[in-house]
Amino acid sequence: WQPHISKKTDTPSSSPWLGHQNDVDCSFGSYYLQHPVTPSQLSSYSIVVMAAAVPIVFSEALNLQQLGVPEGSIKHGLTSMSSDKWIVAVEPSQVTLVDLQNNSAVTRRPIQAEAAIMNPSSNILALRSGTTLQIFNLDAKAKLKSHTMTEPIVFWKWTSATNLALVTAGSVYHWSIEGDAAPVKMFDRHASIGPNTQIINYHTSPDGKWCLVGGISAGAGGTVNGNMQLYSVEKKVSQPLQGHAGAFHTIKLAGREDPAQVLVFHEKKADGAEGHKLYVMEVGRDPAKGAAYRLAPTAIPVPADAAADFPVSLVIDKKNDLAFLLSKMGYVYMFDIHTGKTMYRAKVTQETVFVTCGQESTGAVFGITVRTGKVIRVQLNGQALIPYITSTLRDNDLAIKVAGRLGLPGAENLYAAEFERLIGSGQVVEAAKLVAVSGTALRTPATIARFQQIPAQPGSPQPVFQYFST
């Protein structure tokens, strides 16, 4: 196959983290894709719609309408994508299953249901009709469980391979597919996400001890307010948050043995006075091990023409410790979780993305556009990230940190300059640590010779030992 590519005209921008002045279509690149393709596997194709100097790759993987899914079924509540394995669409008289691991093969089953979601790991399908829930193992062609709720489900989501989260008008339940147990009530919804709030997402922390439920509601002057409820399973207490999207992730911090379980979330107060902010804060750390990790909130650079825009999803790139924030107006923001800094922003679609999921093997983020059914893919372009940070963001400190953490090229000269600065100021230990995170950039005979030239301090080992021991 050959994708149809069309040329666009770009105007340089003065914005330090925006590739081009006008955020239209795929504004970060010089080309846009007019016709989608259907890959045999979402992780194996590479249709790059980007300029050479930008740090993300955007592409369109497939189109649900072209696979026969009607426009009316491609919306919140009817079409789901729990992982990169399946897309499920509920139609008036059938359920359509798109097998993304098998050349996007389509199977249609004559099932009457109001909603259907596939397990993220196994071929296990959950169906909902009214208050009745059923779970089927498609491989074994057997029903695993069923249950009738006492109140309607307004939102549901697989939080793991074995747990299905159920949100009603007043409470949140967890239902394990193992054993015969009925759904277990976890907590009541906070007043800040009351009956007038449409729930749009739910997450649990890696350790299972924290829950985050979020939704949107109408605000003053036509705005859309976002509110979330952070709940501690152990302490049985809730904290309301004003914002539209968030997710949990675990990161490894330099100089700390235990990993940090962090909540990454967007904040915007109802009055909008302080603008959009990104928070990164650790949850659940044992106080005996020290203070919890927390970054100062950073401003999210929302463009002037998107003042009414709001986030609809935040997806973690677990492979690279990045966060992708997707907005109602089609913008994507890429953040570094370790610093909270915005590394890139672009408008990747003119349509609303209503469902998203991450792909752990590649770090890519997938989303589906409402009604049109375009399955889009956004992923880090590692080869371009460090040059972009240095030349466009002009943030050498960020470039050094990210290049060292992810093992990316482009920071060799920065490493050399920072090494000389540290050596010149007598910070031998810090210089050795920089060598350690630089990959092969500073692991050279010249670096060893530089350490050997440093005179030893009385009572201290030779500086070159720092090189070999760090």
The answer to whether residue 318 scores a pLDDT higher than 50 is: yes
What integer pLDDT is reported at residue 340 of this predicted model? 97
Quick one: tokens of 240? 């309301």
pLDDT for 226: 97
Using CA atoms of 366, 371, 161, 83 in order, give the dihedral in degrees to the nearest 10. Answer: -20
Three-state secondary-structure class, residue 387: helix
**pLDDT one-digit tens code per residue, 224-264:** 999 999 999 999 999 999 999 999 999 999 889 999 999 99
Per DSSP, the three-state class of 61 is strand
Q: What is the pLDDT of residue 31?
A: 30
Amino acid at 259: P
pLDDT at 18 over 80: no
CB 74 within 8 A of CB 81: no
Taking each helix axis from N to C end, the angle separating 396-406 and 412-424, rounded to the nearest 10 degrees, works out to 110
Share of the chain above pLDDT 70, in %: 87
Q: How confident is residue 414, by pLDDT bands cut at 50, 70 and 90?
A: confident
Residue 56 confidence (pLDDT): 96
pLDDT score of 33 more than 70? no
Mean pLDDT of the chain: 86
The gap between the terminal CA atoms of the chain, to the nearest Å, is 50
Phi and psi angles of residue 36, each rounded to the nearest 5 degrees, phi first: -75, 165
- What tens digit of pLDDT does each residue of 98-123 get? 999 999 999 999 999 999 999 999 99
Determine which of 198-202, 355-359, 460-464 has the lowest per-residue pLDDT on average.
460-464
Q: How far apart are CA 41 and CA 100, in angstroms?
A: 6
Average pLDDT score over residue span 262-283: 94
Sheet holding 331-336, edge to edge: 311-317, 322-327, 331-336, 342-347
Q: 315 pairs with which residues across the strands?
A: 324
Greater pLDDT, 440 or 269: 269
H helices then E strands: how many in the chain?
6, 30
* Ramachandran angles phi, psi of 331, nearest 5°: -85, 150
Q: What's the rounded Cα separation, in Å, for the pair 330 and 204?
A: 26
Sequence length of the chain is 470
Would you state the pLDDT for residue 205? Answer: 98
Query: How far apart (Å, rounded) are the C-alpha atoms in residues 289 and 260?
Result: 11
Burial class (CB in 10 A: 0-12, 13-18, 19+), 465: middle
DSSP state of 450: H
Q: How many CA atoms lie within 13 A of 357 on its CB side?
A: 24
Residue 15: is its pLDDT beyond 90? no
Q: Which amino acid is at 376?
A: I
Distance CA 85, CA 83 (A): 5
Residue range 420-429: mean pLDDT, rounded = 81
> What is the rounded average pLDDT of the residues 198-212?
97
Residue 32 has pLDDT above 50, yes or no: no
Task: Determine the average pLDDT of the residues in 60-80.
Answer: 97
Q: How far is CA 240 from CA 202, 415, 446, in A?
A: 14, 43, 55
The pLDDT of residue 19 is 34
Q: How confident is the model at residue 140 (pLDDT cuts 50, 70, 90)?
A: very high
Q: What is the pLDDT of residue 459?
A: 67
pLDDT value, residue 470? 66
Residue 386 has, within 13 A of its CA and on its CB side, a CA count of 20
